Structure 1
Amino acid sequence: MQRPHLRWPPAAQPVGQVLLSLGDGDGEDPKHNLSAGTRVGDTLFVAGDEMAVLEALTLHASGRSAAHERYALADLLDLRRPGEEVDIEGLSADVGWLWIVGSHARARHKPDKTPDMPIELAKLADLKDTRPRCVLARIPLVERTDAPGTFYPVRSDGDRHAGMLRQTKHGNKLAEMLRLDVLLEPFTRIPAKEGGIDIEGIAVTGNRLGLGMRGPVIRDYAVLLEVVVDTRSNGILKLPSPPMKRLLDLEGLGIRDLKRRGDDLLILAGPTSSLSGPCALYTWRNWVNEPASGAETVAVHRPERLIDLPHGRGVDHPEGLALWGREGEKEQILVLCDSPAPERFKKGPSTFLADLFDLPD
């Protein structure tokens, strides 16, 4: 199919910004690289890819965040290695639950980037133990009685219990299934930023989950995994069958985040590597009512391209999404950037600006 345009269209410009405050502003807080977000009422949940915590921000009508709470995942879930990097890459809220997915990715040690510093090839060849990144979980959300419209995560709420795919010495059941998959198995052995397995983004409709893959991109097609999850009364999640695969024509880009918008699926697309390259927002209309059906042969889906997003050079890489706007207001999308540009930071490394964009009707 011939493309109607030979150049990327100009990027949309933000219509506003939201000030996110994830620390006390004393300059001692760690710098945050946010990789995932979701909004529930007047609470914005965000997470970074280098920590094992959830951040909850209470939002003001003025478009800034006020109260901030931090929740360690180890206090909410039975992690095999509490405190180690989970690499949270997707958050989704659905009917009183917060769903979380880690990258399930292999990673290479980052070389020292000091000018003229030689790189040790043996160390570069050694891959990290990334089994702690194999996380697929859901956590109950509870509305605050003293602040209606705001929410917080808990380990248990009555007969609702936090739970996850059980972590094993091999990662988890999803990781095991990917290693047996005829299409994806070769990519389980290489690091994410070099074309390996890298899950980014989660969308939920009932017990059906869409899991976006930043990598691999196969013959220019992005891959969306779909799994049906069984939930036990004690909160534990089970996968009764291997994930189904959907192939998406995103013009060679991988999936960086997902958000369900009614029956539609919003897809943030961007480069598979750390390249500063094109980023765009697509929509798959009526995704909720089009469950995956093919196991051995699949159709190629061509989501509609909505807007192109700005990005920097080495900074400001769009990484996460959160739907914005109260009922009756125009719908917008909040875009969270990895490696935020220096001008985004206000009052220290943990207080910075995220951009708002209008969503086409």
Structure 2
Amino acid sequence: MKQYVFGMLLLSVLVSARAGEMGPQQSSPCCRWTLGGELSYLRPDGGMIDYATEMVFVTPTVVAAHGSYVDPSYEPSWSAFIRYDWTPQADIQFRTTHFDHEFGSSVRIPDSLLVVNSTLVSDFFDGAAGKVLFDLDNYELSIGANINVTQTGWRLRPYTGLHYVDENDRLIQRFYRSDAAFVHYLTSRFRGIGPIIGLESHFPLFDRLTLKNDFTLGFLIGDADMRTVGDINDAPIQPIAYIDFKNTDRQRLVPYGFLDIGLQYDMPFRGYEAGINGGFKIIYYDDIHGRRAGTGPNDPLRLNYVTYYGPYIGVQIKA
């Protein structure tokens, strides 16, 4: 796998270097720094997480069941970048994004008809609560070529580099009744690194207003660890299968994508060039298929959020 990563990275560097030789060569002056930051409101997108099953007697002998779900919401995150133009046609950039998300739900059925997933415990409760936590940390180092496509100021930046992600997800389920309690922890973590290629575009609309977008594709190679643990202290409940099961070091090849589209307004600021921007971004990791605690193809003990998306606002300044 390492040979594939190195080969893709080398090919991407050659493509970006060749792109820097194309088109008009007037671009950003050399030896300049650009600093920027963004505040986003992102929402994880994927299947809802079922943390409890509610049993309802339609008739004395017929039972209907439906799940209680944890539904995600928009939460704040932040990102920052620093870029250095070492020549008018080339630059190097470091970018990082951090997202911490917590959301939960609860349900109470007084007739003791809430059941834990049968994979864990075969028993009934009258109250349940579910909480999901997501931690997403991205780090990206890229080399880019600066190209003026037209004389009117349309600028492109093809780039290539390395992307690293550390994604840590947790589901906490709590079940209780007057004489018993059960707590279940499902944790999932993926850490991977791999090559990326991308293209930034700044297209002038009016005097100082530009349409900006950034599109990235790549793949990551890393390990996915998942564990399910049930805590039965002070509870007269007997667990069955998978009560303490860890599925470790599953090496995964994960597709990665990033899309950012928005507007930027440029203006002078105390002798520097400043910009205010806003738009919409999407972060995509398809790393769910190997992140399950059990071994069966229909094992429900899994966390399956693959996309993060939402609006953002940001500022940048060029020295």
TM over 0.5: no
TM-score, with length taken from structure 2? 0.27
Structure number with the higher strand fraction is 2
Which protein shows a greater Rg? Answer: 2
TM-score, with length taken from structure 1? 0.25
